[in-house]
Amino acid sequence: MAIINQAKGYAARARDAALERVTIEFLNRLPDTPNERLVGILEMGGKLLSDPIHQRILETSIKVLQEHHPSVEVLRRAAKELDPNCKQSISRFLVKTIFGASDKRARFTEQYGIIPPSSIVISPSMRCNLHCVGCYAGNYTRSSDMPQEVFERILEECKEAGISFITISGGEPFVYEPLLGAIEKYRKDLVFMVYTNGSLMTKDLARKLRELGNVACFISVEGFQKETDARRGPGMFDKVMAAMDNLRDEGVFFGGSVTPTRLNYQVVVSDEFVDMLVEKGCYHVWYFSYMPIGSHPSLDLMPLPEQRDYLRKGIQNQRARKPILMADFWNDGVLVQGCMAGGKLYLHINNNGDYEPCVFVHFAVDNAKEKSLAEALQSDFFRTIRTHQPFSHNYLRPCPIIDYPKMMRKFIVDTGAHPTHQGAESLVTTLADGLDTYSSGVADIYNEVWQKDYEWADWFNNEPLRQMAAQEPQAAPASAPKAPAQ
């Protein structure tokens, strides 16, 4: 049996190496290949796919090509401009995700009775060199950083579970000294997405990221100079622009990260702002509307329900016309069938090692210093959240924090989850009435919008995620590996 398994391992590695070469060649030819030819290539490649999620992604990709969507031009530009190291990492990531990682994920599910998430967000440090208005990163010191051995053990567990996409947040990630070493250690196994304020993105750092290849950077920008400097401090807009220039010059995949608030929600979906990002060379932009969390949470910066809908329509309008990939963490809930938290598609591990269901839900029952990822995924807290997902089939209202706050409070109380920092408890105390009022206002708008404008959602979703969720046992095996003693 050992010889058979060894032979299977050799065959899998040979398969992955061959597919990686094919994928790199595909990316190299992408800029000059007509859409019709690309459709044919994808259709041939689709014969190798068995996972329903991968098949749905393939079908959507073919539809995008057939409709000559502007996003196709983003991919052509990336294939032309990215450094060879970055293209190789993308190719390796795609092959591992679709083939190699699928094997590991299947073994993980069989062994522990849990479907592993697609991604993990880790905040190894909450230290930051800025003090942005409304940020959930408070006052932290170097002693509060995640120990390097814990950080790398988590990455190793992700690798073994077939989770090859790691997001690094914070704080400012680049103040964490072990980060680049860990990225280099796992450059053949993991791809990292780093959310940064951009202030430390020197030419030397951009060059190092290009040499590594397996890093994409998303830089916080709140609009133009007025909006960015008002929230992040004088001179930050110029530093953000310089950081983007440095990454573009080195051929590193990068984009923007925007926090819409009541003050900037119109600016950040304007033609002028999106055109600026395209001209700077951004391939992608994420929108994360302000959430009332952190050491001094407040509802005052949250976009009002009608402003949230304005953002939805604005992003849809820009996405249909501009050559830049755009994602809205709340209004795009339809693309992932609602909430992703609690290990359904992702979870968050903070600097203290607390397993949080989401970067915005600062409550936990387990800690990475004491329990493994597999153990944490089996917790009553995470299982309760996953069991109730989606919280309704109106995926425009995916979030238990701001769309179903009464449910979130019940999950926390029923499972004994504790706040992971001072002030986090406000979600279930001082902010409760305001969140209930907000969620009611969103429902009034979005229930009508869902019925009127989202008939296509049935075609897109086609039940694959719901089917996968239904496969997860209600009681997991007791064989989850324990985290080594620290």
pLDDT along the chain (486 residues), means of 10: 56 67 78 87 74 73 88 92 92 73 84 93 91 64 89 97 94 96 95 97 98 97 96 95 98 98 97 98 97 84 97 96 95 91 97 97 97 97 96 93 96 96 90 96 96 73 46 42 58
Distance CA(44)–CA(35), nearest Å, equals 14
Q: What DSSP state is assigned to residue 358? A: B
Q: Give the pLDDT confidence score for residue 476 in this predicted structure.
A: 39
Is residue 263 within 8 A of residue 228, CB to CB? The reply is no
State phi, psi for 367 to the nearest 5 degrees.
-135, 140
- Pick from 341, 465, 290, 483: which is nearest to 393 by CA? 465
The reported pLDDT for the residue numbered 74 is 93
Name the H helices within 82-202.
84-95, 101-112, 148-161, 179-185
Q: In angstroms, rounded to a whole number, what is the distance separating the alpha carbons of residues 253 and 90?
A: 10
> Do 253 and 216 meet the contact criterion of CB atoms below 8 Å apart?
yes
Give pLDDT, residue 469. Answer: 40
Length of the chain: 486
Identify the three-state secondary structure at position 198. coil
- Residue 110 makes CB contacts below 8 A (sequence gap 6+) with none
Predicted structure pTM score: 0.89
Element (H, E) at 42: helix 35-46
Show the CA angle centred on residue 192, arms to residues 327 and 333, nearest 5°: 25
Asked whether the beta carbons of 437 and 444 are under 8 A apart, the reply is: no
Residue whose entry in the numeric block shows the structure tokens 């001094």: 296
pLDDT at 252: 98
Classified as helix, coil or strand, 272 is helix
Helix runs in 177-257, H state only? 179-185, 203-212, 225-232, 236-250
Q: Hey, is 168 helix, strand or coil? A: strand
Is there a contact between 191 and 159 (Cβ–Cβ < 8 Å)?
A: no
Bridge partner list, 168: 122, 194
Q: In angstroms, rounded to a whole number, what is the distance separating the alpha carbons of residues 61 and 304? A: 34
- Residue 218 is encoded by which pair of tokens? 């998303």
